């Protein structure tokens, strides 16, 4: 067990230094590597495989909801980016600019897309003419660039992978329905696939997307009680459509501007998985996106029939649709246990000569460490049940963390006090003024996370200024 111990010791304790623990997990679980350009990370096979699973499951949901995938250019001419005023102000400062093509200086600079609203609008202006062409429900899987000053794996990359949906509708109502529909798909995905509870709400004007009329968000709470914005869905009205001169002939034979949405989630989801579920032994993966759901470790594998019996179990589980890996390498059992714990594999299956005699195997849960001897008869069903239980267990634990650390505050002073002692989400009434939002940031160090869809009446007045309150808001320290 010496090697086992050694590897585990290499991870910083999460209670001692959560940030260092996080970086350690990203490196030791082989999710990510650094490149020679600051802030541009390498998605290693194990990290990328999580993204592939997310992508596969989300893509199914998008397609079932009627969306089609497209791929638009990665470069945006500066003049195109400038067409919508708020949008360019938000994004231009963090664009990477291409100025040379081969040996020729370009007549106009091109930025690498930080997001693609402008490109989609240019395309939509070409292909939308009649009400028959609506709605357009497009989605794109790609990478985008934002020239950030600081960076952290999965949380803040200069280049990151994401999907961006961009849709056009004949009416404002339809576009608003789409905004809500996609936002609900995200919330459901967090719960049902990633085992992460979310707070669903609307962003304040200060926090909304550059150029949007309304931004909806799903907010998650990490293990260290900080907030992570998990995904956003924007309603644009017809602002971009006017700026880009997109029109269609309605059933009334008149020209109209269509109404627009966009929505996206990114590889930040992986940061959420790590920071919600992980522990001091490393990653803990929710079973539905785990690249390896069951790792099979033969015990006393040199003995006759052991490898064959293990392979038979692997074959049965694979045939049942599970993602399974057998490790019959010459590493010690202790090394293997630590390795797959670090990698967050939900279930470990051990099978040795004595088990074979008894027609049983050992299943060890990554989340709780619980060990069970189970019959090989119906092992497929047992594994499925246990993976579902792990999912439920992870969700319940995360839900408890969220509930235990969300509390009402009646004053800015109370927010300051509770934030510094407990962290988490403070909920207060708010008058809706930017001034109060800025004071919260300056004095309590928190940003508004969202105006939750499920409003509670905590009082009649703004916790900051005492004027009449308009909304209940969640505040927190965000990644």
Residue ranges binding a second copy (CB under 8 A): 33, 35-37, 40-45, 48-49, 51-52, 68-75, 77, 80, 93-103, 109-110, 112, 119, 122-123, 126-127, 138, 142-143, 145, 147, 158-159, 161
Instruction: Give the pair of three-digit tokens for residue 204.
Output: 């304040």
Q: Which of 100, 134, 94 is nearest to 114 (CA)?
A: 94
Using DSSP's 3-state secondary structure scheme, residue 38 falls into coil
In whole angstroms, how close is the CB of 271 to a second copy at the nearest point?
Answer: 16
Structure tokens at 358: 């008894």
- Could you tell me the smallest distance in angstroms from the CB atom of residue 144 to a second copy? 10
Please tell me the distance from the alpha carbon of residue 446 to that of residue 478, in angstroms, as a whole number.
8
The DSSP letter of residue 94 is: G
CB closer to a second copy, 127 vs 300: 127
- Residue 41 vs 474, nearer CB to a second copy: 41
Compare residues 73 and 435 and give the one whose CB is closer to a second copy.
Answer: 73
Q: How far is the CB of 448 from a second copy (least distance, A)?
A: 26
Cα–Cα dist 19/39, whole Å:
16
Give the nearer residue to a second copy in terms of CB position, either 69 or 375: 69
Positive/negative CA dihedral, 118, 122, 127, 132? positive
Which value, to the nearest 10 degrees, does the dihedral of the CA atoms of residues 183, 189, 194, 199 take? 30
Concatenated DSSP letters for 392-452? Answer: HHHHHHHHHHHHHTEEE-SSHHHHHHHHHHT-SEEEEEE---HHHHHHIIIII--EEEEEE
Biggest CA-to-CA distance, the chain: 81
> Closest approach of Cβ 25 to a second copy, in Å?
17
Token pair, residue 340, equals 């797959």
Nearest approach, Cβ of 156 to a second copy (angstroms)?
A: 14
Q: How far is the CB of 69 from a second copy (least distance, A)?
A: 5
In angstroms, what is the minimal distance from the CB of 325 to a second copy?
A: 12
**How far apart are alpha carbons 310 and 298 in whole angstroms?**
6
CB of 41 to a second copy, least distance (A): 7
- Name the residue nearer to a second copy (CB basis): 90 or 432: 90
| Residue closer to a second copy (CB basis): 35 or 455 | 35
CA distance 464 to 133: 48
Which residues lie below 8 Å from residue 339, measured CB to CB, with a gap of 6+?
7, 327, 331
Query: In the complex with a second copy, which residue's Cβ is closer, 141 or 407?
Result: 141
Please say which residue, 318 or 400, places its beta carbon nearer to a second copy: 318
Cβ closest to a second copy, residue 329 vs residue 385 = 329
Task: Write down the least CB distance from residue 213 to a second copy, Å.
Answer: 26
- Three-class SS of residue 311? helix
Nearer to a second copy, 73 or 466 (CB): 73
Question: Per the structure block, which two tokens stand in for 299?
Answer: 């015990």
From residue 255, give the alpha-carbon distance in Å to each of 106, 121, 243, 246, 433.
37, 17, 15, 10, 37
Q: Least Å distance between CB 255 and a second copy?
A: 22
Residue 334 CB, nearest approach to a second copy (Å): 18
Structure tokens, 82: 């400038």
What is the rounded (10 degree) CA torsion for 36, 88, 439, 420? -30
Interior angle at CA 390, CA 384 and CA 393, nearest 5: 140
d(CA 84, CA 121): 10
The pair of three-digit structure tokens given for residue 321, joined into one six-digit string: 């649709």
Question: What is d(CA 397, CA 277) in angstroms, rounded to the nearest whole number?
Answer: 9
Q: Which CB sits closer to a second copy, 110 or 236? A: 110
């Amino acid at each position: 067990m010496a090697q086992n111990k050694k590897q585990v010791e290499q991870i910083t304790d999460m209670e001692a230094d959560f940030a260092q623990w996080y970086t350690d997990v990203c490196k030791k679980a082989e999710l990510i590597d650094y490149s020679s350009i600051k802030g541009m990370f390498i998605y290693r096979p194990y990290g990328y495989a999580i993204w592939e699973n997310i992508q596969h499951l989300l893509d199914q949901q998008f397609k079932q909801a009627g969306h089609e995938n497209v791929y638009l250019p990665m470069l945006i001419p500066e003049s195109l980016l400038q067409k919508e005023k708020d949008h360019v102000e938000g994004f231009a400062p963090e664009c990477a600019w291409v100025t040379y093509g081969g040996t020729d200086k370009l007549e106009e600079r091109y930025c690498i897309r930080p997001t693609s609203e402008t490109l989609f609008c240019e395309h939509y202006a070409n292909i939308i003419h009649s009400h028959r062409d609506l709605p357009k429900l497009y989605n794109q899987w790609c990478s985008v660039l934002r020239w950030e000053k600081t960076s952290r794996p999965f949380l803040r990359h200069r280049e990151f992978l994401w999907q961006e949906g961009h849709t056009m509708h004949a009416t404002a109502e339809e576009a608003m329905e789409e905004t809500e529909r996609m936002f609900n798909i995200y919330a459901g995905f967090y719960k049902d696939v990633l085992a992460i509870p979310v707070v669903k709400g609307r962003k304040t004007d200060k926090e909304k997307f550059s150029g949007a009329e309304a931004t909806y968000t799903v907010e998650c709470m990490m293990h260290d009680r900080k907030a992570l914005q998990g995904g956003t869905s924007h309603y644009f009205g017809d602002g971009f459509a006017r700026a880009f001169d997109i029109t269609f002939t309605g059933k009334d034979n008149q020209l109209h501007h269509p109404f627009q949405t966009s929505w996206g989630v990114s590889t930040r989801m992986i940061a959420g998985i790590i920071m919600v579920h992980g522990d001091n032994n490393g990653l803990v993966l929710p079973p539905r996106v785990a690249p390896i759901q069951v790792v099979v470790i033969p015990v006393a594998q040199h003995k006759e029939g052991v490898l064959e019996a293990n392979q038979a179990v692997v074959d049965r589980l694979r045939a049942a649709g599970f993602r399974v890996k057998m490790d019959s390498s010459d590493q010690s059992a202790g090394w293997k246990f630590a390795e797959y714990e670090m990698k967050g594999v939900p279930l470990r299956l051990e099978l040795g000569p004595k088990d074979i005699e008894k027609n049983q195997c050992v299943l060890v849960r990554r989340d709780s460490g619980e060990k069970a001897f189970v019959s090989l008869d119906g092992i497929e069903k047992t594994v499925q049940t246990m993976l579902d239980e792990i999912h439920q267990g992870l969700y319940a634990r995360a839900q408890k963390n969220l509930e235990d650390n969300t509390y009402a505050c009646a004053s800015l002073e109370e927010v300051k006090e509770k934030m510094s002692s407990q962290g988490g989400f403070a909920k207060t009434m708010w008058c809706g003024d930017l001034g109060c939002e800025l004071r919260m940031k300056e004095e309590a160090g928190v940003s508004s996370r969202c105006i939750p869809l499920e409003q509670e009446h905590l009082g009649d007045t703004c916790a900051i200024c005492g004027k009449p309150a308009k909304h209940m808001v969640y505040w927190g320290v965000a990644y």
